[in-house]
Amino acid sequence: MEKRKLGASSVEASVITFGAWAIGGWMWGGADRKEAIDAIRVSIDHDVTSIDTAPAYGQGLSEEIVGEAIRKTDRDKIQLFTKFGLRWDTSLGEFFFKSKDNAGRDISMHKLASRESIIRECEDSLRRLKTDYIDLYQIHWPDGSTPIAETMEALHLLLDQGKIKAAGVCNYNAAQLAEAGKTITLAADQVPYSMLYRNIEQEIIPYAVDHNIAIIAYSPLQRGLLTGKILPGHHFNEGDTREGNAFYSTENIARVNTFLDKLKPLAKEKNATVGQLVIRWTVDQPGITIALVGARNRKQATENAGADQIRLSGDELAFISGELNKLELVGS
């Protein structure tokens, strides 16, 4: 598996990284714990050595599952990414949104990135992950109620204490990256990016490239839509927030599948699935360092890892991008 360095840090991550949002169940309509553990272990067997999780994913459940899955693995061969700043156990902090927990109960999510909160969250994550250090520690969402400098100073402290190896952010725009850079050297910015959602190409990627900040792309398969396995009329489980999202309207699902049909001959030529082709295209895009790809069972995990074996020529990348430019979605 190809490894890529995260900015100027010492952390090298697998170009395909296991995204552990779905296994926490939250906003995905549930997940099976045993299958989730199997998915992580199979990923590691295929040299997907990096795992990205967060406390908010199932209110601690995802981190606990990750900790259990890697229990018998050489810790120094695994890169653990987790986050802070999105809390459900407090009303102190900037109100973010209301959601449901895995039991269907109403919860309120708050952004809280104060120094005291970060230190507490780090200790909680270390306990759930059953480790004594985190490879990449990231603010989950920008917190407008806390000065960026205060947040970054807390990350500096954790770096000095050896509790984290690298500091990162999620969902930061270029201006926020610049402000954070006054206090700390950031390793990475984790942002949404897929064939269907390429907004970061305008400002964030150019800034990151100029300042040696890795881009970790989340939802590169647009939460399953770009696998070709979601067809018009698809039924989403209760609690799955894809239901009602414009990307997953009947019309857009049909249009995306028509686009994917054009890629199938190339995928067949590469002995690959369409989803693998999409992942490979993603990590081959300028400025993209890592693709986070979720899996809820061993079959999905194996398929995701296989994308690393695909090689696309310049002409093949141009063909895919050309067909993509013809795709128009409705209301997304």
What pLDDT, in 10s, does the model give residues 225-284? 999 888 887 777 766 767 777 888 889 999 999 999 999 999 999 999 999 999 999 999
Indicate which residues carry an active-site annotation: 57
Task: Count how many domains the chain has.
Answer: 1
Kindly state the DSSP code that residue 261 receives in the 8-state scheme. H
Check if the beta carbon of residue 48 is closer than 8 Å to that of residue 69. Answer: no
Q: Which tens digit of pLDDT belongs to each residue from 59-101?
A: 889 999 999 999 999 999 999 999 999 988 888 889 887 777 7
Does residue 27 register a pLDDT over 80?
A: no
pTM of whole model > 0.85?
A: yes
Question: How far apart (Å, rounded) are the C-alpha atoms in residues 292 and 229?
Answer: 19
Residue 147's domain comprises 3-225+274-311
Question: How far apart (Å, rounded) are the C-alpha atoms in residues 31 and 36?
Answer: 7
241: burial class by Cβ within 10 Å (0-12, 13-18, 19+)?
middle
Q: For residue 213, what are its two tokens?
A: 């900040």
Does residue 29 register a pLDDT over 70?
A: no
CATH number of the domain residue 76 falls in: 3.20.20.100
In a domain, 241, yes or no: no
In a domain, 207, yes or no: yes
Q: Which tens digit of pLDDT belongs to each residue from 67-76?
A: 999 999 999 9
In a domain, 179, yes or no: yes
In a domain, 263, yes or no: no
Exposed e or buried b per residue across 171-199, where buried means at least 16 C-beta atoms within 10 angstroms of its C-beta? bbbbebbebbeebbbbbbbbbbbbbbbee
Judged by DSSP in three states, 212 sits in: coil
In a domain, 101, yes or no: yes
In a domain, 33, yes or no: yes
Share of the chain above pLDDT 70, in %: 95
Measured in residues, the chain has a length of 332
In a domain, 255, yes or no: no
Judged by DSSP in three states, 132 sits in: coil
One-character DSSP codes across 40-97? HHHHHHTT--EEE--TTTTTTHHHHHHHHHTTTS-GGG-EEEEEESEESS-S-SEEEE
In a domain, 91, yes or no: yes
